[in-house]
Homo-oligomer: A and B are copies of this chain.
Amino acid sequence: MVSFTYYVPTKVFFGTDAESHIGSFLKSKGFHKVLLHYGSGSIKKNGLYDKVTAELQQAGIAYVELPGVEPNPKIGLVRCGVELCRKEGVDFLLGVGGGSVSDSCKAIALGLALDIDPWEAVVKNICPEKPFPMGLVLTIAAAGSEMSNSCVITDDEHNLKRGCNHDGNRPLVAFMNPENTLTVPKYQTAAGTVDIMMHTMERYLTADPETPLTDRLAEALLKTVKDCGSRLAEDPKDLQARTDLMWASSLAHNDITGCGRNRTFTAHKIEHDLSGVHDNITHGAGLAVVFPAWVLHEYKKGMKRFCQWAVNIWQANPNQDEDAVIREGVDHMKDYFRSLGMPVTMQELGVAPEEYDSIAELTIAGAGGAIPSYGSKLTKEEIIEIYRLAE
Give chain A's interface residues, CB within 8 Å of chain B: 1-18, 21, 210-214, 216-217, 219-221, 223-224, 227, 240, 243-244, 247-248, 251, 256, 259-260
Task: Give me the 4 closest cross-chain CB pairs, A-B, nearest first.
Answer: A3-B15, A216-B220, A9-B9, A220-B220
Chain B residues contacting A259 (CB-CB under 8 Å) are 14, 247
Min Cβ gap A241→B in Å is: 9
Is there an interface contact between B1 and A6, defined as CB atoms closer than 8 Å? no
CB within 8 A of A244: which of B18, B213, B247?
Answer: B213
Chain B residues contacting A227 (CB-CB under 8 Å) are 212
Min Cβ gap A284→B in Å is: 19
What is the bound-complex CA distance between A10 and B259, given in angstroms?
A: 15
CB within 8 A of A221: which of B9, B10, B217, B260?
Answer: B217
Known pairs A5-B14, A7-B12, A247-B259. 6 more at Cβ < 8 A? A8-B9, A211-B244, A213-B251, A217-B217, A217-B221, A247-B260
> How many copies of this chain sit in the oligomeric assembly?
2
16 intermolecular pairs with C-beta atoms under 8 Å apart: A1-B15, A1-B243, A1-B247, A4-B12, A7-B10, A7-B12, A212-B227, A213-B247, A213-B248, A213-B251, A214-B247, A216-B221, A216-B223, A217-B217, A219-B220, A243-B260
What is the bound-complex CA distance between A5 and B9, given in angstroms?
A: 12
Is there an interface contact between A6 and B2, defined as CB atoms closer than 8 Å? no
Chain B residues contacting A1 (CB-CB under 8 Å) are 15, 240, 243-244, 247
Is there an interface contact between B248 and A224, defined as CB atoms closer than 8 Å? no
Min Cβ gap A101→B in Å is: 21
**Contacts A210-B240, A213-B247: A11 and B15 contacting too (C-beta < 8 A)?**
no
Min Cβ gap A139→B in Å is: 17
Is there an interface contact between A18 and B3, defined as CB atoms closer than 8 Å? yes
A217, A227, A243, A260 — most chain B CB neighbours (10 Å)? A217
Chain B residues contacting A223 (CB-CB under 8 Å) are 216
Min Cβ gap A138→B in Å is: 13
Chain B residues contacting A251 (CB-CB under 8 Å) are 213, 217, 256
Is there an interface contact between B217 and A213, defined as CB atoms closer than 8 Å? no
Min Cβ gap A96→B in Å is: 19
What is the bound-complex CA distance between A78 and B201, given in angstroms?
A: 46
| Nearest opposing residue in chain B for A15, CB measure | B3
Is there an interface contact between A212 and B14, defined as CB atoms closer than 8 Å? no
What is the bound-complex CA distance between A212 and B213, given in angstroms?
A: 18
Min Cβ gap A72→B in Å is: 29
| Nearest opposing residue in chain B for A167, CB measure | B11
Min Cβ gap A259→B in Å is: 7
Chain B residues contacting A7 (CB-CB under 8 Å) are 10-12
